């Protein structure tokens, strides 16, 4: 776990622990025995359930109530590259050029609004042999939205991808990776297979290329689904030039560790087929 992810999770845990302590003190102060003991027990159970819910929603790889694959099954030496928040000019095309030069497949989880701004780039993703996937229409955090708005976000992103490329996306990723059972059930109803990620490489703030190279190569292993960002929301313009500069070294370094880049659909084909048979 990176220091940044650790700090984020620790902050939530400490905040939750503080609120829980205040509630427990309140129970002990205002309720008489035996109700204070019963009230404390209820609070403890509620606190544990809430903590599990938050971890399931926010932490990659925690699938207590909801499941989105964050690693490849029977991983071996395979890894998958995924890019979120595009397409945008010029960064998505620059990344496509690098992937073509190295013969690497990838999945692009695109925001519908960006697809509508750059439809030709979205089409080019498919034409160059990559997988175009859905990252909602406007990148809103789905667990905090009512069901009808969640459906609108998921359907809007899928429709934008289909209109631009002629191919309706199969894969879907929740913005920020924040998921719940309710959100994933709605996605499945709309024909979208939710996909998580093993860990982010923390490229959003455009750190030095050397930092991004280190963030990948010091932990990458077979089965990883790597999260990178080729784009951004139009309301928050940013640069992805560090990732563009780092990507060749990342690819070379990953291959130097004996790992192979594969298409997500190929890696998950057997798992998804088995899941469909069960349901």
Tens digits of per-residue pLDDT, 72-100? 987 689 999 999 999 999 999 999 999 99
Is 229 among the catalytic positions? yes
Instruction: Answer whether residue 65 is part of any domain.
Output: no
Residues 131 and 154: beta-carbon distance below 8 Å? no
167 or 22, which is more confident: 167
Same domain, 182 and 273: yes
Which of 84, 85, 203, 230 is catalytic? The answer is 84
Name the percent of the chain lying above pLDDT 70: 82
pLDDT digits (tens, 9 = 90+) for 194-218: 999 999 999 999 999 999 999 999 9
Same domain flag for 43 and 156:
no
Residue 141 lies in a domain: yes
Query: What range does the domain containing 99 cover?
Result: 78-278
Q: Is residue 50 part of a domain?
A: yes
Taking each helix axis from N to C terminus, what angle separates 35-58 and 3-30, rounded to the nearest 10 degrees?
160
Please say whether the beta carbons of 70 and 197 come within 8 A.
Answer: yes
CB atoms near residue 3 (< 10 Å): 8
pLDDT band at 5 (very low <50, low <70, confident <90, very high): low
User: Within this chain, do residues 26 and 138 fall inside the same structural domain, yes or no?
Assistant: no
Known catalytic residue: 139?
Answer: no
Average pLDDT, the chain: 89
Cis peptide before 87 (omega within 30 of 0): yes
Structure tokens at 92: 């998505």
Residues 102 and 46 in one domain: no
Catalytic residue, chosen from 70, 135, 139, 229, is 229
- Residue keyed to tokens 């999770």: 9
Which of 200, 272, 179, 183 lies closest to 243, judged by CA?
200
Spatial distance between the Cα atoms of 22 and 18, rounded to a whole number of angstroms:
6
Indicate if 110 and 25 belong to the same structural domain: no
* 144 closest CA partner among 135, 153, 131, 133: 153
Query: Quick one: residue 243, left, alpha or beta (phi over 0 = left, psi -120 to 50 = alpha)?
Result: alpha
Together in a domain, 44 and 167: no
- 248 falls within a domain: yes
In the predicted model, is pLDDT for residue 42 greater than 80? no
Instruction: Kindly state whether residues 127 and 18 are assigned to the same domain.
Output: no
Total tally of structural domains belonging to the chain = 2
Q: pLDDT above 90 covers what percent of the chain? A: 71
Does residue 67 fall inside a structural domain? no
CATH of the domain at 204: 3.20.20.370
Q: Does 98 share its domain with 41?
A: no
Considering the domain architecture, whether residues 49 and 105 belong to the same structural domain is answered as no
């Amino acid at each position: 776990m990176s220091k940044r992810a650790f700090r984020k999770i620790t902050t939530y845990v400490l905040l939750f622990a503080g609120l829980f302590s205040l509630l427990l003190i309140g129970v002990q102060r205002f309720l008489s025995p035996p109700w204070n003991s019963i009230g404390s027990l209820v609070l403890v159970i509620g606190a544990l359930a809430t903590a599990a819910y938050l971890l399931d929603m926010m932490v990659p790889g925690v699938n207590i109530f909801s499941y989105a694959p964050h690693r490849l099954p029977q991983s071996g030496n395979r890894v998958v590259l995924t890019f979120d928040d595009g397409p945008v000019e010029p960064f998505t095309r620059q990344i496509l050029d690098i992937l073509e030069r190295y013969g690497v497949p990838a999945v692009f989880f695109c925001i519908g609004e960006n697809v509508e701004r750059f439809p030709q780039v979205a089409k080019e993703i498919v034409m160059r042999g990559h997988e175009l996937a859905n990252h909602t229409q406007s990148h809103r955090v789905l667990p905090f939205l009512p069901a009808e708005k969640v459906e609108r976000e998921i359907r809007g992103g899928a429709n934008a991808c289909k209109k631009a490329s002629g191919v309706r996306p199969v894969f879907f990723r929740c913005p920020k990776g924040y998921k719940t059972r309710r959100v994933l059930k709605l996605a499945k109803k709309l024909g979208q297979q939710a996909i998580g990620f093993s860990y982010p490489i923390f490229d959003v703030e455009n750190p030095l290329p050397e930092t991004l190279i280190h963030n990948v190569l010091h932990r990458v292993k077979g089965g990883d689904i790597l999260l990178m960002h080729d784009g951004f929301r139009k309301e928050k313009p940013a640069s992805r030039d560090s990732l563009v500069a780092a990507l060749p070294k990342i690819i070379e370094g990953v291959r130097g560790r004996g790992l192979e880049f594969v298409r997500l659909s190929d890696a998950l084909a057997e798992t998804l087929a088995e899941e469909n048979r069960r349901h």
